[in-house]
Amino acid sequence: MSKNIESVVICCFKRDVHLLRICIASVRYWHPTIPVYLLKDEGHGKFSTEEIEKHWNAKVLETEFKKGGWGLTKLMALFAEENSRILLLDSDTVFLGPVLDYLGQFEEDFVVTGVKSDDPSHYLIPRDYIAVDKVKEIFDKEYVYPGYGFNSGHIVMTRGLINKGDFHKLVDFTDSGFKAIAPVGLFPHADQGIFNYIFAKKKQEGLCSVRYDDFWLWSGLEELSEISLERLQQKKGYNKIIHWAGTKSHFISKMDRSDILFFYEDIYYQKLPFGSLRKKIHHFSRIFMLSAKKALKILGLISK
């Protein structure tokens, strides 16, 4: 029995709003009516998504904490009093087709994608997902590697099955926020390693079901060159999501398959009143902010 996805939740922060616009345009291009929520991380400062909410029918997902830092805010998408089935996305992703229809065929509580390998020492597993040998040696000797590592930028998840208490050795939740407390070197990329551990552990304990499926394309893959923009324009598409994990840029023109990004960016601004003008304002505002930041770095007034 399949389980339809009820909503899309996009995790975003101040520095990637230009990609958030493209992401939501790609979701709406293929799924015009699906509820979309913005999971805002304010670790780098508050930022407005009013334009996106108003013109692209999105809402902010209200959460207990808003400053989880790099990726950790995505944990908030798990916690809910009632079960609901969502697709959690990073903002540096785009749909290449009616992905929700494809993913809706699966009945498992969680559907993940990344690297499938029977060998836990495959170089990508400890580098990007979980250091299996170290975890079993110093953290949890009962842990069982599931045969894959998955990227946390696109996860079908059932909310309400996992709670804050399940992270008691991994994340410290306080009144002011939360932070990772897991041993360094075991769980790469903040939330990603933690998600990989928790999902495998809960499946191992029989408390949830997890399926691996290859529904993503990493921007660094040669396979990306085979994606036809014309096919997207004709609304034929692919059952895939592109993720610019580790390769995104402040400037779209410098990213792999920028033609796809520009295609969805144009769709975004076409929907807005005075869209061409807004596009120019956003572009020049971004250049100004980046230039100002660079100047402050040169002067030694900021370090990041």
Kindly state whether residues 246 and 107 are assigned to the same domain: yes
- Would you say residue 298 has pLDDT above 70? no
Kindly state whether residues 98 and 243 are assigned to the same domain: yes
Kindly state whether residues 210 and 233 are assigned to the same domain: yes
Per mean pLDDT, which of 31-45, 137-151, 290-304 is the most reliable?
137-151
Which tokens in the block code for residue 101?
């229809």
| 3-state SS assignment for residue 248 | coil
- Would you say residue 152 has pLDDT above 50? yes
Element (H, E) at 38: strand 36-41
Work out whether the CA dihedral 196, 109, 245, 77 comes out positive or negative. negative
Total structural domains in the chain?
A: 2
Kindly state whether residues 259 and 282 are assigned to the same domain: no
Kindly state whether residues 61 and 173 are assigned to the same domain: yes
Asked if residue 20 is part of any domain, the answer here is yes
Q: What are the residues whose beta carbons fall under 8 Å from the beta carbon of 15, sequence distance 6 or more?
A: 44
Residues 128 and 188: their CA atoms lie apart, in Å, by 6
The whole-model pTM stands at 0.92
pLDDT for 80-110, tens place per residue? 988 999 999 999 999 999 999 999 999 999 9
278, exposed or middle or buried, with CB in 10 Å at 0-12, 13-18, 19+? middle
Residues 158 and 160: their CA atoms lie apart, in Å, by 7
Phi-psi domain of 147 (left: phi exceeds 0; alpha: psi -120 through 50; beta: other): left
Asked if residue 298 is part of any domain, the answer here is yes
Asked if residue 44 is part of any domain, the answer here is yes
pLDDT of amino acid 43: 77
Q: What does the chain come to in residues?
A: 304
Instruction: Please name the residue ranges forming H helices in the chain.
Output: 17-30, 50-55, 99-103, 124, 132-134, 191-204, 229-233, 258-270, 275-298
pLDDT for 189-243, tens place per residue? 989 999 999 999 999 999 999 999 999 999 988 899 999 999 999 999 999 999 9
Which tokens in the block code for residue 31?
């799924």
Q: Which residues of 37-76 are buried (b: 16+ CB within 10 A; e: fewer)?
A: bbbbbebeeeeebeebbebbebeebebebbbbbebbbbbb
Asked if residue 2 is part of any domain, the answer here is no
pLDDT of amino acid 296: 47
pLDDT of amino acid 160: 94
- Would you say residue 176 has pLDDT above 70? no
Kindly state whether residues 286 and 143 are assigned to the same domain: no
pLDDT of amino acid 244: 96
Asked if residue 1 is part of any domain, the answer here is no
Kindly state whether residues 265 and 280 are assigned to the same domain: no
pLDDT of amino acid 1: 46
Kindly state whether residues 89 and 191 are assigned to the same domain: yes
Kindly state whether residues 189 and 293 are assigned to the same domain: no
Domain span at residue 293 reads 276-304
Return the CATH number at 41.
3.90.550.10
Kindly state whether residues 208 and 236 are assigned to the same domain: yes
Kindly state whether residues 121 and 153 are assigned to the same domain: yes
- For residue 297, name the pLDDT band (cuts at 50, 70, 90): low
CB distance 120 to 133 below 8 Å? yes
Residues 80 and 40: their CA atoms lie apart, in Å, by 17
